Amino acid sequence: HQSLSPCPAGERLCSTEEATAGSGTYTRHGFIFSSLAGCVEKRSEDSGLPVVSVVRDTESQLLPDVGAVVTCKVCSINSRFAKVHILFVGSTPLKSTFRGTIRREDIRATEKDKVEVYKSFRPGDIVLAKVISLGDAQSNYLLSTAENELGVVVARSEAGVQMVPISWCEMQCPRTHTKDFRKVARVQPQFLQT
């Protein structure tokens, strides 16, 4: 259970007997104060006192922005596009789900006319993509994987095993050695969500 209420920096939140100081707070003279302006979050811990922390407003409402690199999960594909759920912006997990679409022409930078969606993504794949335009009323973001660093980072084979990239367009199941086509990301270590 958590309650969110806005507070300015330096506000006295409660006594240290009522709660434990979490992130965005500091203690002085037996009281917990907020060290930044934002929303007070009170989370009950199993082991006794609840933890009080302050979350910056921007963090509580982080939205995917044009140019941001996002981590998303493929929900469905057809011959024209892949539909995805955006899970992370950079390395920050999103509190609510945003839907995105990767169109066929935005999958690859070269030979766009030869791209086939089902040879690039499969439902369940975890993909790094870049936001190229903001959503409409259904918050459907347009995403692109047309850079080398972008594309599929985690994919599971038919056997349910995490596949290993063997080239920029293929992944292989380490158990059955079957190969599948994917638009593989050349992953930069800072984006790896292990």
Q: Which band of pLDDT confidence, cut at 50, 70 and 90, is reported for residue 104?
A: very high
Q: Hey, what CATH topology would domain 5-55 get?
A: OB fold (Dihydrolipoamide Acetyltransferase, E2P) (2.40.50)
Q: Which of 67, 155, 145, 154 is nearest to 107 (CA)?
A: 145
Tens-place pLDDT, residues 119-136 = 999 999 999 999 998 865
pTM: 0.66
Domain 68-191 adopts which CATH fold? OB fold (Dihydrolipoamide Acetyltransferase, E2P) (2.40.50)
* Residue ranges of the chain that CATH labels 2.40.50.140: 68-191
Does the pLDDT of residue 1 top 50, yes or no? Answer: no
How far, CA to CA in Å, does 150 sit from each of 46, 48, 82, 104, 180? 40, 44, 15, 14, 18
